[in-house]
Structures are given as structure tokens and as C-alpha cells.
Amino acid sequence: MAVPIAVLDCDLLLYGRGHRTLDRFKLEDVTDEYLVSTYGFPRQFICYLVDLLGATLSRPTQRSRAISPETQILAALGFYTSGSFQTRMGDAIGISQASMSRCVANVTEALVERASQFIHFPKDEATVQSLKDDFYGLAGMPGVLGVVDCTHVAIKAPNAEDLSYVNRKGLHSLNCLMVCDSRGVLLSAETHWPGSLPDCTVLEQAALTSQFETELHKDGWLLGDSSFLLRTWLMTPLHIPETPAEYRYNMAHSATHNVIERTFRTIRSRFRCLDGSKGTLQYSPEKSSHIILACCVLHNISLQHGLDVWSAPAAGHMEQSEEEYEQMESVDSEACRVRQELLLTHFS
């Protein structure tokens, strides 16, 4: 009996339970409700991804049972939204757990390759002005081009010697710097920073800083919390407001900046592989960073398709940084002048 069992197990690993063929599962054979409950997204969204990524995922192969782009995308979405390589997920589309893992890797890289297509700041004047107008409509804060903050995503320990990924809570993580607009659409996402780096250091070294200091608009700014230093292009709250104008500024700042907190909750709720409920991401820091970025791309695409803008908070460990930092006023006199002018012009 040993030989037949071994043969059966090999067949199971290659083709999934019940000897299903990989072309057995068809999107048109199941309901939208099933697709949403199993893979997190409706048929129209999945078909869009097949059109977007199909050519990249259809690599030449000598295998007669190559996995179709459609199946690869379903496998990846199943992992992103559930955080699990459970056997039932592979069974649903007729592939093994090992094949699931390869599908996730393929789809992740295909999405990362397209990150700049879906995550970027607007450049034309009309869109930039619309961005500012939308933010102003939230709480009366003028000139806002985006709100910025960091969030940690737990990963497995790279190795015993590397402590650069150990955050303040003693967990291994990546510290991800993100910017979003008033709807929660991501305008920037840097997902590769080691968890030991404080938010202010991440921003100091980030490509985002280089962008704003050398390329982007000079007539607007980002909003960041007090874990960042005040800059001419980054308005932070006043540490100790004293005048009515300063209190109004801080209130408007807080109400506007809250958009990024809701965006983090939405991403965590939709993409359970990031929220810690199924454990940490079991990949190297580089691969984990790519999975996070792939989820960010999918987040933006989902908003383009009119899917849930805001989701209810979910339990998990993808949290905003709660850093202990020394309250420091910026030594940038020009940045102080810009904030003071904002106070006098709009909040006095």
C-alpha cells in the first residue's frame, strides 16, 4: 500500500484534491457573493486584474498544466485577504499549497512592477487644485496635498543577529511610510524601512523627502503628526497651543490628518495578511515589503472601482506608530515662518 499512497500524495501536491484540473474553476460558474467571501473582491474587479496582469503572468512554459493568470490572481487575492495558505483555498481552485505560494509571488511582483502607475501624486494643476479643495472641505485646512504617517507590519525575524527590524515593542516589523488624499487613495508608499527606525528618521531618509524638496509643488504641503519635524512642505501641530488661532489650527490639522488613520484601518481590514491575525508575514523583509506594496496597489485599484472607501476597524497588529519622542521645535526658521503665516492668514 505504500507505493499507491505515495503516488496519490504526489498527485495531490501537483493537482490538488480530487484530481481537479486547473482549468476547472471558472469565474462565470460562481456568484459574486462567493467571490467576495472567498477572495475578497467581486467578479468585475478580478476580471480587471486578469486583463491588467494577464500578459505578465502568462509566461512561456513547457508544462502542460501551467496555472492560468486567472487562477494565479485568485490564489493571490485569497492569501492577501485571508492571510492564509489553507488547504481549502487551494482546493477551491484546484492547486496545492506550494502552487499557492508561487502564485502569490508571481502576482505580487506583477503588481509591484505597476506600483508607480497606481500610486503617485497628481501633476497637472487642475488635479492638484482639486486635491487641495477636497482637503479644505474636510476641516478648513488650506494648501494640503496629502497626509503622511507611518504604520508597522509584523514580519518573521530575518535572523538572530539582525536587530534592525526589532521595533519598540520588541517585535520584528517593517515601518511603512504612506501618504494619502482625502478619499484614502495612496499617493506614496514606502514599505521597506526596518522597524527599528523611528518615523522621523524614516522620513528623513525617504524618497518622499527628496521629491518634496526638489520636485513637487512649492505652494502646498503635507500634514504630519508630532513624530515628524516641521518643514516648509510638512505642517505639524503646535506642541503647546496658546492662542485661539493656534487651537483652531491644531483642531483642523487633527481632523484632516485623521484620514490616514482611517486609511490604515481600511487596508488592514481588507488585507488580513497584514493585520497580524494570522501571524506575521513569513517572508524575508524584501518579499514582505513587496507584499505590502502589492496590497497598497490593490487598495488604490479598489477605490478606482468604487469599492468600500472606508471599512470598519479590525483587530490586528498593523498599527500606527506610538513613538516616544522628545518634543522639539523645528530649527528651520523658514518652516516656522510658513506655519506662522498660515496661522495668521487662515486661523486668526
The residue ranking higher by pLDDT, 230 or 27, is 230
Q: Evaluate whether residue 303 is within a structural domain.
A: no
Tell whether 144 and 275 lie within a shared domain: yes
- Within 8 A by CB and 6+ apart from 150, the residues are 175, 176, 177, 178, 193, 199, 202, 227, 320, 321
Tell whether 135 and 194 lie within a shared domain: yes
Nearest to 275 by CA among 223, 319, 239: 319
d(CA 80, CA 269): 11
Q: What pLDDT shows up at residue 313?
A: 45
Tell whether 147 and 264 lie within a shared domain: yes
Q: Residue 193: pLDDT above 90?
A: yes
**SS3 call for 110:** helix
What does the pLDDT look like over 236-292, one tens digit per residue? Answer: 999 999 999 999 999 999 999 999 999 999 999 999 999 877 678 999 999 999 999
Tell whether 94 and 167 lie within a shared domain: no
Segment 185-196 shows an average pLDDT of 97
d(CA 76, CA 59): 17
Q: Evaluate whether residue 10 is within a structural domain.
A: no
Q: What pLDDT shows up at residue 312?
A: 45
Q: State pTM to two decimals.
A: 0.87
Tell whether 86 and 113 lie within a shared domain: yes
Greatest distance between any 2 Cα atoms in the chain: 86
Q: What pLDDT shows up at residue 67?
A: 87
What does the pLDDT look like over 48-84, one tens digit per residue? Answer: 999 999 999 986 654 546 888 999 999 999 999 988 7
Q: Residue 8: pLDDT above 60?
A: no
Q: Residue 2: pLDDT above 60?
A: no
In DSSP notation, 78-105 reads HHHHH----HHHHHHHT--HHHHHHHHH
Q: Evaluate whether residue 41 is within a structural domain.
A: yes
- Span of 152-156, 284-288, 312-316 with lowest mean pLDDT: 312-316
- Mean of all residue pLDDT scores within the chain: 84
Q: How far is CA 309 from CA 64, 75, 252, 314, in A?
A: 41, 24, 22, 15
Segment 338-348 shows an average pLDDT of 94
Sort strands 144-154 and 319-320 into parallel, antiparallel or unpaired: antiparallel
Q: What pLDDT shows up at residue 228?
A: 96
Tell whether 91 and 123 lie within a shared domain: no
Number of folded domains that form the chain: 2
Q: Evaluate whether residue 163 is within a structural domain.
A: yes
Tell whether 78 and 183 lie within a shared domain: no
Tell whether 178 and 231 lie within a shared domain: yes
Please give the residue range of the domain that contains residue 90.
27-57+67-117
Q: Evaluate whether residue 311 is within a structural domain.
A: no
Q: Residue 9: pLDDT above 70?
A: no
d(CA 335, CA 25): 58
d(CA 307, CA 266): 11
Q: What pLDDT shows up at residue 249?
A: 97
What does the pLDDT look like over 317-341, one tens digit per residue? Answer: 444 444 444 445 556 889 999 999 9
Q: What pLDDT shows up at residue 316?
A: 45
- Within 8 A by CB and 6+ apart from 107, the residues are 53, 57, 72, 73, 75, 76, 294
Tell whether 139 and 242 lie within a shared domain: yes
Q: What pLDDT shows up at residue 329?
A: 55
- Span of 30-34, 110-114, 154-158, 337-341 with lowest mean pLDDT: 30-34
Nearest to 172 by CA among 180, 184, 160: 160
Tell whether 195 and 270 lie within a shared domain: yes
From the centroid of its chain, how far is CA 232? 26
Tell whether 215 and 257 lie within a shared domain: yes
Q: Evaluate whether residue 291 is within a structural domain.
A: no
Identify the residue whose cell numbers are 496629502. Answer: 146
Q: What pLDDT shows up at residue 344?
A: 94
